[in-house]
Amino acid sequence: MIRRRLLACTAILLLPRPTAGPLAYVSNERDRSISVIDVGAARLVATIPVPGRPRGIRVTGGGRTVLVALSDVQRNRTGSEDAIAVIDAAKRRVVARYAAGSDPEQFDVTPDGRLLVAANEDAGTASVIALPGGKALATLVVGIEPEGVAVSPDGRRAYVTAETSNTVSVIDLAAREVVNNLLVDVRPRAVAVSPDGRLVYVTAEIGGTLTTFDARTGEQVAAVAFGDGDAKPVGVAVSPDGREVYVATGRGNSVAVVDASGRKLLANIPVGRRPWGIAVTPDGRRLLSANGVSNDVSIIEAATRKVVGTVKAGAGPWGIAVAP
Amino acid sequence: MSISLLISALMTGGALLAAPLAKAAAQADTLRIAFQAASDSFAAGRAANLGVQLGAEEARQTGGMVGRPVALVGPSGESGGDPSTGASVVIGGSGGERCEALLAAAEAATALVLNLGCGADSLRTERHAMLFHVGASDSTYRRSPPGSVLWLPALERYGAAQLNERFAARFGEPMTAPAWAGWMAVKIALEASLRARGTDAAALARALLAPGMRFDGHKGRALSFRQADHQLVQPLYAPGGALEEISP
């Protein structure tokens, strides 16, 4: 009886303040923290310190867990801070750390939450680890300077970009081997897969393009250029209905909207300075960009393609992920 | 390190080979690159040799992934343009003593010739259809702030830190400008071959001038060859870190 009441009290104390919308988590590369943003209310609700330089970020377990790639400042060797940090979303603190090879940068998680694939930038490899627990399952050689990672919606494949090789390696997650390598445009950064798994979208920072590949054949089927101006396409995300692709243009200080076929630029939305990470809310109504130089997050209404809110984050926002 | 040792290191180096993959890999012609290595006895020559070595190791990895085997043939010495080497690319010109051999290769016109460090404006004429310049011209340097260089080991932005650290980890010394030029030349050779979908020398030269042909030199902007004089247009770095666009 007493014990039950105690539990009830604890539960109330631990309950976060009511939120108006989904929560977004932003990795702040320069001040080693994660900003927690209430998207609906457009306000910062918490800041979580992390032990390392955070970059790649994903939400798993239906919003209960936030995973963050941490790197050591010491490059080119596995440093003591290199890890995937596990944050308990309710407690808002780091509860575990998994080894994921040298200098993990971006990563993705299978839809069932059981596998994590991380790009090890300095080692030229991709690490596959089991969740939860973090057991290392495979280390695969991919291109030089691997960067972006995306897992297909069916969880069978992972795509890993490599900035120096201009390649995307296709990993069969069941066999845990690289089954194909696609030649892509110059300095590929991020990769995303359409909800039906048929199309693979790749940004190229120096090429200034988004290129689209047929996932089955590996052939390039479309390309769209963002002009010869300042645009340096980096982060990419697909709307939940698969109809639109969103690209953070870096020095272009905008989020570009491209049609699903990857052929047509539909809109270019000015946001904060140097947007890098990009995410879409699960209902598809809001786009979020993590702006690395203006140290904030732009909240865009997808329907009107207008910025409806700007929220201050930490120093050097890099990646962003939204809880369901 | 002697030249022969250097070449054998090139042939056997790169323990991290890409997994054998693309079906095309077995059938594709090998891209043969003849390197007119510089003497190790002066710093710039030695640096260029190491840059080519790293470039070749990385090109072999990338080429292996996408079905284009890459081999350095040589040491080619003065016969860099000799068709008997089977090379469709010659890389040379790393310093004064190597400019004559470079010119001979350009005159032979049997291979795409990539010039690392010969700055003479006389080389930058329409007469040399197969000659392309990775390094800047003497006249560009004369117009630039004193001490301007192609690359600095202290560069960090735009992926420069990653490249500098790969070089330092591989050789235990900083990546200087001649080393960058050597690394870049091999990368350009491979990417020309991937664009041309072959190894024919004339096709490689055409690929370098093809519309939209851009290169990432880890300098934060797209680099390309200028039609008029085959010069790679790129930023230079002045002491203090300012950028200067090349305009020979």
pLDDT single digits (tens) A295-312: 999 999 999 999 999 999
Structure tokens at A93: 């603190």
Q: Count CB-CB contacts under 10 A for residue A79.
A: 18
Q: Is A208 on the interface with B (CB under 8 A)?
A: yes
Q: What is the pLDDT of residue A301?
A: 98
Provide the whole-model pTM.
Answer: 0.88
Compute the distance between CA of residue A43 and CA of residue A282 in angstroms, rounded to an integer: 18
Q: In what order do the strands lie in the sheet with B222-225?
A: B215-216, B222-225, B232-233
Using the predicted structure, report yes or no on whether residue B131 has a pLDDT greater than 70.
yes
A69 close to A89: Cβ distance less than 8 angstroms = no
In this predicted structure, the answer to whether residue B243 has a pLDDT above a threshold of 90 is no
Query: Is the backbone peptide bond immediately before B75 cis, with ω within 30 degrees of 0?
Result: yes
Closest CA to B74 of B62, B93, B91: B91
CB A275 within 8 A of CB A235: yes
* A179 touches B: beta carbon within 8 Å: yes
Mean pLDDT throughout B172-182? 97
- A132 preceded by a cis bond (ω within 30 of 0): yes
Q: Do A166 and B191 touch (CB under 8 A)?
A: yes
Of A75, A183, A208, the CB nearest to B66: A183
Of B16, B61, B159, the CB nearest to A163: B159
What is the arrangement of strands in the sheet containing A125-130, beginning at the earlier edge strand? A104-109, A115-120, A125-130, A136-141
Encode pLDDT of A249-277 as tens digits. 999 999 999 999 999 999 999 999 999 99
Q: Which domains does chain A have, with CATH numbers?
A: 103-183 (2.40.10.480)
**Whole-number percent of chain A with pLDDT over 70:** 91
pLDDT in tens, B89-109: 999 998 767 899 999 999 999
Q: What is the pLDDT of residues A51-89, one digit of tens each?
A: 999 999 999 999 999 999 998 765 544 567 889 999 999
Using DSSP's 3-state secondary structure scheme, residue B143 falls into helix
Q: Which of A 33-92 lie inside 8 A of B, CB atoms?
A: 75-76
Q: A203: Cβ–Cβ under 8 A, 6 or more apart, which residues?
A: A148, A188, A189, A190, A191, A209, A210, A233, A234, A235, A236, A247
C-alpha dihedral sign at B177, B179, B182, B184: negative
Q: In Å, how far is A180's CA from the nearest CA of chain B? A: 6
Produce one character per residue of B68-89: b if its CB has 16 or more CB atoms within 10 Å, e if not: bbbbbbbbbeebbbbeebebbb
Which residues constitute the domain of residue B195?
3-245
How much is the ipTM here?
0.85
Which of A140, A169, A206 is facing B216, going by the closest CB pair?
A206
pLDDT at residue A19 in the model: 66
Q: Does A274 touch chain B (CB under 8 A)?
A: no
- Inform me whether the C-beta atom of residue A163 falls under 8 Å from chain B C-beta atoms: yes
Nearest CA in chain B to A124: B16
CB-based contact B214 A121, cutoff 8 Å: no
Across the interface, whether the CB atoms of A165 and B163 are under 8 A apart is answered no
Instruction: Pick the range with the lowest mean pLDDT from A139-153, B78-92, B115-129, B211-225.
Output: B78-92
d(CA A140, CA A245) in angstroms, rounded, equals 29
B24: domain CATH number?
3.40.50.2300
**DSSP secondary structure code for residue B218 in this structure:** S
Is the pLDDT at B15 greater than 80? The verdict is no
Closest in B21, B61, B168 to A144, CB measured: B61
Q: Is the pLDDT of residue A2 over 60?
A: no
pLDDT in tens, A139-169: 999 999 999 999 999 999 999 999 999 999 9
CB contact under 8 A, A76 and B18: no
The residue of chain B with its CA nearest to that of A218 is B22
Cβ contacts of B18 on chain A, cutoff 8 Å: 141, 143, 178, 181
Give me the percent of chain B exceeding a pLDDT of 70. Answer: 80
Q: How many domains does chain B have?
A: 1
User: Is the Cβ pair B62, A165 closer than 8 Å?
Assistant: yes
In angstroms, the Cα distances linking A167 to A144, A164, A303, A318, B22 are 9, 8, 34, 23, 12
Which among A76, A167, A207 has the least Cβ separation from residue B65?
Answer: A167
Q: Which residues on chain B place their C-beta less than 8 Å from a C-beta of chain A?
A: 16-19, 21-22, 58, 61-62, 65-66, 159, 161-163, 165-166, 168-169, 187, 191, 194, 214-216, 221-222
Q: What is the pLDDT of residue B18?
A: 34
